[in-house]
């Protein structure tokens, strides 16, 4: 699928056939834990840079990112799945949401506007 948006951290994954086709977005996120507050601060090597208020212990950071993404994108936490990076700063998240909604959210983030 060709990329029609300006967001290097975002791609779309499609699965199924016929009426059973489902799509979800994949977000690459670079995390800096133990920040004073959770916020997007820009880009890091093609990934969305996220300063996270949670510590990187016992999955607390991953749980905090899941909750934050769900709240930001208006989906349930069960619609947000960690694909890669359980113990690393670079993470890949799958979110059951359409590409247009995700692009609107990214465009609304002040730190990503040129």
Digit-coded pLDDT (tens) for 91-114 = 999 999 999 999 999 999 998 876
Element (H, E) at 106: helix 99-108
pLDDT recorded at residue 17: 83
Q: Which residues of 43-63 are buried (b: 16+ CB within 10 A; e: fewer)?
A: ebeebbbbbbebebeeeebbe
**In which element (H, E) is residue 102 found?**
helix 99-108
pLDDT of residue 5: 73
Q: Does position 84 have pLDDT exceeding 70, yes or no? A: yes
Distance of CA 44 to the CA centre of its chain: 13
pLDDT-derived band at 1 (thresholds 50, 70, 90) equals: very low
7 CB-side CA count, 13 A = 26
What DSSP designation does 32 have? E
DSSP H or E segment with residue 61: helix 60-73
Would you say the pTM of this structure is higher than 0.85? yes
Q: Are 52 and 43 in contact (CB under 8 A)?
A: no
pLDDT, tens digit (0-9, with 9 covering 90-100), for 25-68: 999 999 999 999 999 999 999 999 999 999 988 899 999 999 99
DSSP characters over 64-100: HHHHHHHHHHT--GGGEEEEE-TTSSEEEEEESS-HH
């Amino acid at each position: 699928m060709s990329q029609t948006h300006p967001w290097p951290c975002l791609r779309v994954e499609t699965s199924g056939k016929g009426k059973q086709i489902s799509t979800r977005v994949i977000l690459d996120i670079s995390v800096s834990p133990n920040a004073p507050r959770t916020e997007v601060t820009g880009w890091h090597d093609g990934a969305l840079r996220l300063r996270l208020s949670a510590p990187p212990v016992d999955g607390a950071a991953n749980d905090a990112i899941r909750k934050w993404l769900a709240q930001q994108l208006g989906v349930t936490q069960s619609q947000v799945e960690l694909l890669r990076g359980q113990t690393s700063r670079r993470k890949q998240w799958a979110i059951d949401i359409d590409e247009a909604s995700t692009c609107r959210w990214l465009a609304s983030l002040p730190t990503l506007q040129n």
